[in-house]
């Protein structure tokens, strides 16, 4: 069948648009038969992917970063339903490309095109945050608060922008009062952040859910409660290690579960796959759809 490429030209601050000719040449060289749809505004990739799936295109190839992948997955789920979300290929044109790195997919475009052409798939878990689907991670509290800051930073690009935003967000020291419930437990009290992972790394640098496995049928969530900005800051280098040692620090708890119910006493920003929700929220329910996405992998 013919593939449909959904290109987000804005990914990596318009670098995806500049690199598209390279990606196009790589797909053609690999023998991938495709047509192209270009997203003109934030969120349009959802509708482009949905329409492509309804028209019978397969696979749908996300050409962009983690946010683009998330939008395409949402479009596939809207078209096909939750039992079999669809078939996805990835041409990594984003800033961090977290999902690609988490899964060991090639970042080199010719190699990524060869993976798509080969047609081999693995069944990836798909997660839900409210009515939004995601495949890498989602969060409430400090993590999306940092995302709001990094969007305002214009004088840095790439990974340094994420790090600068993280430092600024930590020193602001925002807090929430929360009740969090999961399969076999609950937590009630102050909360700095809750990060829900389908895979370990997010933001290009941070292993927020270091023991997450996108093939195990479980959500892996880490809750952090630190009283001071200094306490949170001291966790930062540990959260940047793939060894995941930060989860053993005081005030940090990791859970593996199939559902999470979060209730906050004040509004918090939220994100899924790096894309901020349009409004802040004071409640969010998470669930998992095990092995529902056919992901093209080596």
pTM: 0.94
pLDDT at 160: 84
The 3-state secondary structure of the chain reads CCEEEEECCCCCCCHHHHHHHHHHHHHHHCCCCEEEEECCCCCHHHHHHHHHHHCCCCCEEEEECHHHHHHHHHHHHHHHCCCCCEEEEEEECCCCCHHHHHHCCCCCHHHHHHHHHHCCEEEEEEEEECCEEECCEEEEEHHHHHHHHHHHCCCCCHHHHHHHHHHHHHHHCCCEEEEEEECCEEEEEEECEEEEECCCCECCCECCCCCCCCCCCCEEEEEECCCCHHHHHHHHHHHCCCCCHHHHCCCEEEEEECEEEEEEEEEECEEECCEECCCCEEEEEEEEEEEEEEEECC
pLDDT at 157: 75
pLDDT per residue of the chain (298 residues) written in tens, 0 to 9 = 799 999 999 998 889 999 999 999 999 999 999 999 999 998 999 999 999 999 999 999 999 999 999 999 999 999 999 999 999 999 999 989 999 999 999 999 999 999 999 999 999 999 999 999 999 999 999 999 999 998 888 778 777 888 899 999 999 999 999 999 999 999 999 999 999 999 999 988 899 999 999 999 999 999 999 999 999 999 999 999 999 999 999 999 999 999 999 999 999 999 999 899 999 999 999 999 999 999 999 9
């Amino acid at each position: 069948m013919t593939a449909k490429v959904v290109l987000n030209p804005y990914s990596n601050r318009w670098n995806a648009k500049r690199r598209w000719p390279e990606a196009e040449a790589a797909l053609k060289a690999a023998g991938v038969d495709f047509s192209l749809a270009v997203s003109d505004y934030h969120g349009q990739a959802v509708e482009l992917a949905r329409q492509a799936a309804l028209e019978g295109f397969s696979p749908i190839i996300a050409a962009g970063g983690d946010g683009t992948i998330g939008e395409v997955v949402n479009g596939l789920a809207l078209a096909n339903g939750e039992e079999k979300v669809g078939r996805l290929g990835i041409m990594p044109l984003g800033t961090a490309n977290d999902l690609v790195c988490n899964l060991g997919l090639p970042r080199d475009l010719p190699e990524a095109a060869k993976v798509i052409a080969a047609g081999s798939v693995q069944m990836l878990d798909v997660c839900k945050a409210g009515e939004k689907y995601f495949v890498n991670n989602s969060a409430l509290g400090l993590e999306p608060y940092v995302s709001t800051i990094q969007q305002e930073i214009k004088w840095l690009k790439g990974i340094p922008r994420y790090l600068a935003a993280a430092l600024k967000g930590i020193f602001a020291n925002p807090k929430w009062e929360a009740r969090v419930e999961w399969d076999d437990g609950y937590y009630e009290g102050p909360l700095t952040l809750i990060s829900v992972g389908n895979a370990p790394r997010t933001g290009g640098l941070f292993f927020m859910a270091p023991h997450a496995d996108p093939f195990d049928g479980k959500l892996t969530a880490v809750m952090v409660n630190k009283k001071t900005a200094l306490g949170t800051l001291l966790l930062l280098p540990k959260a940047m290690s793939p060894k995941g040692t930060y989860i053993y620090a005081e005030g940090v708890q990791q859970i593996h579960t199939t559902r999470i119910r979060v209730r906050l006493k004040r509004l918090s920003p939220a994100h899924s796959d790096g894309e901020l929700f349009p409004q802040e929220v004071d409640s969010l329910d998470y669930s998992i759809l095990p092995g529902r996405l056919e992901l093209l992998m080596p």
